Chain A
């Protein structure tokens, strides 16, 4: 197991490097010039200097190498400096945003808490709702509950978040006025009232994101439970007189959770990706919204870094899923 993990970790490095190269080349080979908006009256020498100041104008391999060094070597140093007060990264050039002329990672760190709160909460809520639904609809297969569950899951698959989000805004914020339609990130939770406000503004984005999570995971839980409910060991457990709750909730559930746990791990990156849209609907200024504004402003370093961070999420959670699968299921052997 350990050797498998180490091997996968080693394979991760070229994978990530390749993905970063793909993203870099995509940005590089694209037509269009970041200097296109500069007035024609600016002399060409000045333009050339501006290019150099932005980090452009050098050959592609050199710039790729510089970005790799900045991202993989300098940024961790900055992090170490921040925590231990050392000065490894002093005076070195970090990845700079073209919009704000500040380091990209600083902006990302500012935006990350909002996304993690909203997305993380929604994922947890979604999973917590999905598991009981999946278990019960498998146990009572083809019952009314199961049929309704299937239908709701289909709706969860089919209704895109930019519609369900707008719909809940229309209902709960325009018509009923229960919740604010815009997520206020300046709100600091200091007392009970602000805590209630924070809860109120989180309800709608969390619910919209959770609907999708619930749809997927409850279906998967149901299928996985159904696979196990007809197995011989379940009959054995019943035959030796175990109570129904022990049979279902201990014997079947533990075996059924193995694939579900990996699916939960695999779903994390896609939830972060889906949050791009939800954040846009509810005006949450998280990293998804940062990506959209960066794309609209052609802020290439920021776009590149953010896209690459999404790629890291996917690769890391794929690894986590594989390792979890191996740990949870002793029948799986990777060697």
Chain B
């Protein structure tokens, strides 16, 4: 056997994340979804820096205009530039989606880790999760909007207040699936030898969870993160659409869609852009999540 064949046989060591990335690259839908999502996020946050019109700038003389070079999406009934409003709405919708996802992920992981790791807490925490799953979420969200809007508006101002309210409301009503998945995984990982080894050299529980166990449950958490963003964006838009989300002068995609339905007979095209933006964002995230799930699943990876 010559040296070259030996070198071919001994492959360079590859990290797990490199494998995941390779698998993800082969999933066309996931790549397309990722590119579209990054494109939407960056354009929503970067274009307003250069755009000549403010989202709230009212120019009553140029109201209800159609498509033109200066107003690519036209203007609304107060002469505000729809393109600028779409960008501003996207900023809010995506920020809400990301923050709510982070909150629900944190809660879900925390409950899942606690339930999976500490046997005494398992029963009570899982009963709590079951109870939360039995709550009617959309009615409860609407209820929270109704009840806590005014005090929070008074405390943090109308925009900050409603932002906090929506993020917290979505966060505490969507952590349950993550908690269940994380608990299941931790129950299995807890019994593995490396955990025993770490414990035998005197690792404290906190270190054990943070250094040894959490890195091994990152993949299900990442998948639920992508789905969480999609879910949060849809929920926020639904609340705004029902008139219980952000105030009227504060554009979000759901709010723009809600406002546009009043002008459905005369300007049906106004409904199209915010709806398309929501659908496209959610679609791209879902495809990304689908690809991630395949890439992070060791049974599918490498096939």
Residue B121 interfacial (CB < 8 Å):
no
In the assembled complex, the Cα of A306 lies from the Cα of B138 at a distance in Å of 12
Interface-side segment among A135-143, A246-254, A273-281 = A273-281
Residue A318 interfacial (CB < 8 Å):
yes
Q: Indicate which residue in A19, A274, A292, A310 contacts B131 across the interface (CB closer than 8 Å).
A: A19
A307/B140 in contact, CB under 8 A: yes
Query: Interface residues of A: mostly helix, strand, loop or mixed?
Result: helix
A170/B278 in contact, CB under 8 A: no
Cβ-closest chain A residue relative to B241:
A162
Residue A31 interfacial (CB < 8 Å):
yes
B283/A154 in contact, CB under 8 A: yes
B142/A291 in contact, CB under 8 A: yes
Q: Indicate which residue in B131, B136, B265, B275 contacts A273 across the interface (CB closer than 8 Å).
A: B136
CB distance from B203 to the nearest CB of A (A): 38
Cβ-closest chain B residue relative to A314:
B134
A310/B237 in contact, CB under 8 A: no
Interface-side segment among A22-30, A80-88, A202-210 = A22-30
CB distance from B145 to the nearest CB of A (A): 8
Cβ-closest chain B residue relative to A160:
B234
Cβ-closest chain A residue relative to B227:
A157
- Residues of B contacting A274 in the complex (Cβ-Cβ under 8 angstroms): 138
Cβ-closest chain A residue relative to B237:
A160
A162/B238 in contact, CB under 8 A: yes
Q: Indicate which residue in A170, A296, A311 contacts B135 across the interface (CB closer than 8 Å).
A: A311
- Residues of A contacting B278 in the complex (Cβ-Cβ under 8 angstroms): 160, 163
B241/A277 in contact, CB under 8 A: yes
In the assembled complex, the Cα of A269 lies from the Cα of B135 at a distance in Å of 11
Residue A52 interfacial (CB < 8 Å):
no
A174/B140 in contact, CB under 8 A: no
- Residues of A contacting B265 in the complex (Cβ-Cβ under 8 angstroms): 174
Q: Indicate which residue in A18, A27, A158, A281 contacts B279 across the interface (CB closer than 8 Å).
A: A158
- Residues of B contacting A158 in the complex (Cβ-Cβ under 8 angstroms): 230, 279, 282-283, 286
Contact indicator per residue, chain B 120-148, by CB within 8 Å of chain A (1) or not (0): 00000000001101111111101110111
Contact indicator per residue, chain B 259-293, by CB within 8 Å of chain A (1) or not (0): 01100110010011001101100110011001000
Residue B196 interfacial (CB < 8 Å):
no
Residue B72 interfacial (CB < 8 Å):
no
B134/A295 in contact, CB under 8 A: no
In the assembled complex, the Cα of A247 lies from the Cα of B133 at a distance in Å of 38
A318/B134 in contact, CB under 8 A: yes
Residue B67 interfacial (CB < 8 Å):
no
Residue A234 interfacial (CB < 8 Å):
no
Residue A185 interfacial (CB < 8 Å):
no
In the assembled complex, the Cα of A303 lies from the Cα of B144 at a distance in Å of 12
- Residues of B contacting A318 in the complex (Cβ-Cβ under 8 angstroms): 134
Residue A50 interfacial (CB < 8 Å):
no
In the assembled complex, the Cα of A126 lies from the Cα of B258 at a distance in Å of 26
CB distance from A169 to the nearest CB of B (A): 7
Q: Which B residues between 14 and 44 are near A, CB-CB below 8 angstroms?
A: none
CB distance from A297 to the nearest CB of B (A): 10
Contact indicator per residue, chain A 1-40, by CB within 8 Å of chain B (1) or not (0): 0000000000000010011001100110011100000000
Q: With A273-B138, A306-B139, A307-B139 in contact, do A157 and B286 touch (Cβ < 8 Å)?
A: yes
Q: Indicate which residue in B148, B279, B287 contacts A30 across the interface (CB closer than 8 Å).
A: B148
CB distance from A118 to the nearest CB of B (A): 17
Q: Indicate which residue in B135, B258, B268 contacts A19 across the interface (CB closer than 8 Å).
A: B135
- Residues of B contacting A328 in the complex (Cβ-Cβ under 8 angstroms): none
A160/B238 in contact, CB under 8 A: yes
Residue A93 interfacial (CB < 8 Å):
no
A166/B286 in contact, CB under 8 A: no
Residue A199 interfacial (CB < 8 Å):
no
A26/B147 in contact, CB under 8 A: yes
Cβ-closest chain A residue relative to B279:
A159
Cβ-closest chain B residue relative to A12:
B134
Residue A327 interfacial (CB < 8 Å):
no
B261/A166 in contact, CB under 8 A: yes
CB distance from A265 to the nearest CB of B (A): 14
- Residues of A contacting B268 in the complex (Cβ-Cβ under 8 angstroms): 170, 174-175
- Residues of A contacting B286 in the complex (Cβ-Cβ under 8 angstroms): 154, 157-158
In the assembled complex, the Cα of A169 lies from the Cα of B238 at a distance in Å of 18
Q: Which A residues between 143 and 190 are near B, CB-CB below 8 angstroms?
A: 154-155, 157-160, 162-163, 166-167, 169-170, 174-175
In the assembled complex, the Cα of A19 lies from the Cα of B131 at a distance in Å of 7
- Residues of B contacting A157 in the complex (Cβ-Cβ under 8 angstroms): 282-283, 286
In the assembled complex, the Cα of A155 lies from the Cα of B276 at a distance in Å of 11
In the assembled complex, the Cα of A157 lies from the Cα of B275 at a distance in Å of 14
A310/B134 in contact, CB under 8 A: no
Q: Which residues of B contact A (CB under 8 A)?
A: 130-131, 133-140, 142-144, 146-148, 150-151, 230, 234, 237-238, 241-244, 254, 257-258, 260-261, 264-265, 268, 271-272, 275-276, 278-279, 282-283, 286-287, 290
Sample of 9 A–B contacts (CB below 8 Å)? A30-B148, A160-B278, A162-B257, A163-B276, A166-B257, A170-B271, A274-B138, A295-B143, A295-B244
Q: Which residues of A contact B (CB under 8 A)?
A: 15, 18-19, 22-23, 26-27, 30-32, 154-155, 157-160, 162-163, 166-167, 169-170, 174-175, 269, 273-274, 276-277, 280-281, 291-292, 295-296, 298, 303, 306-307, 310-311, 313-315, 318
**New contact pairs (10) apart from A18-B131, A32-B151, A154-B286, CB-CB < 8 Å:** A15-B131, A31-B147, A154-B290, A157-B283, A158-B283, A169-B264, A280-B242, A281-B261, A310-B139, A311-B135
Q: Which 5 A-B pairs have the closest CB atoms?
A: A310-B136, A30-B147, A163-B275, A158-B283, A158-B282
